[in-house]
Amino acid sequence: MITIVKFLSDNGGPFTVNIYPFISLYNDANFPVDYAFFDGNSQPVSDGGTFYYNMFDANYDTLVHALEKNGFGNMPIIVGEIGWPTDGDKNANVEFARKFNQGFMAHISGGKGTPKRPGPIDAYLFSLIDEDAKSVQPGYFERHWGVFTFDGLPKYALNLGTTNTGALIQAKGVRYLQRKWCVMKPNVRLDDPQVAPSVSYACSLGDCTSLGVGTSCGSLDGKENISYAFNSYYQINDQLDTACKFPNISEVTKTDPSTGTCRFPVMIEPYYGGAVHGQVFLFPLMLAVAIAVVSIF
């Protein structure tokens, strides 16, 4: 590591670090929630008489200390990624994401810096939009870091100082496919032998990360969970007829099944905005998310 840092220093390069208080909260049930945010309500951590009231400052200054200790105290630092997801975990929600990102913007906008490194902080907020094909190996939240949905809708109010009102502006001219959804037939029983393998198949090739305890679709009943899985697969495959042919248990409806905080999406037009869709894969790929969804029933 020292070799890399020396190379950066010799060539005038900055040290880039990603700081994610959410990950600490996700990995440790005993992590103090308030310490992840910037409102000053947490119990401070004392380090040699210096008090830290939020995890960002503590993490940042840990790096500053490490650089100083090894002779690189003047190396510039860039926060390459920082943010908060909105779904896929009980602590990944719109309320916490808005609180964290707005708090972070306010925290750095005055140029105060941290106790060990006063002055402006260079940082990049992560991320612009959701990524529905991103690996979920670290957690189901990985597909939900965006401040915008995949189709350019702001998820919450966030003042980035880029407009007169401070509001995020939704994408204009987005073209959607028809307003129709693939759902479970109402007369099908939950214990139908075709249900479990069909849901597993749909989730393995779709996106079921919004299903589960504490998520945006966590209040759905069994049939609604199945319908969400079917529709995800259907929309990702651009509403192809063959993508809603789960054996005798699915049908296409023009009645929006969205409910409460759970949005059943409609896909944007194929290749519009760079999206690549239009393939229906003919082999099942079992994922942990599919198993988790099936276990709900």
Distance (Å, whole) CA 225 – CA 199:
9
pTM above 0.85, yes or no: yes
Distance (Å, whole) CA 15 – CA 79:
9
Q: 269-289 pLDDT, tens per residue? A: 987 554 444 444 333 333 333
| Percent with pLDDT over 90 in the chain | 87
Q: 29-82 pLDDT, tens per residue? A: 999 999 999 999 999 999 999 999 999 999 999 999 999 999 999 999 999 999
Residue 232: count of CB within 10 angstroms of its CB: 24
CA angle 276, 282, 287 (to 5 degrees): 80
**Average pLDDT across the chain, whole number:** 91
Delineate the domains of the chain, giving CATH numbers in brackets. Answer: 2-143 (3.20.20.80), 181-296 (no CATH)
HSE of 278 in the Cβ direction (CA atoms, 13 Å)? 7
Residue 200 has pLDDT above 50, yes or no: yes
Distance (Å, whole) CA 42 – CA 93:
20
Integer angstrom CA distances of residue 88 from 3, 35, 85, 216: 38, 21, 8, 8
Q: 119-167 pLDDT, tens per residue? A: 999 999 999 999 999 999 999 999 999 999 999 999 999 998 877 777 8
Q: Which of 207-216, 236-245, 287-296 has the lowest mean pLDDT?
A: 287-296
Per-residue pLDDT band for 4 (boundaries 50, 70, 90) equals: very high
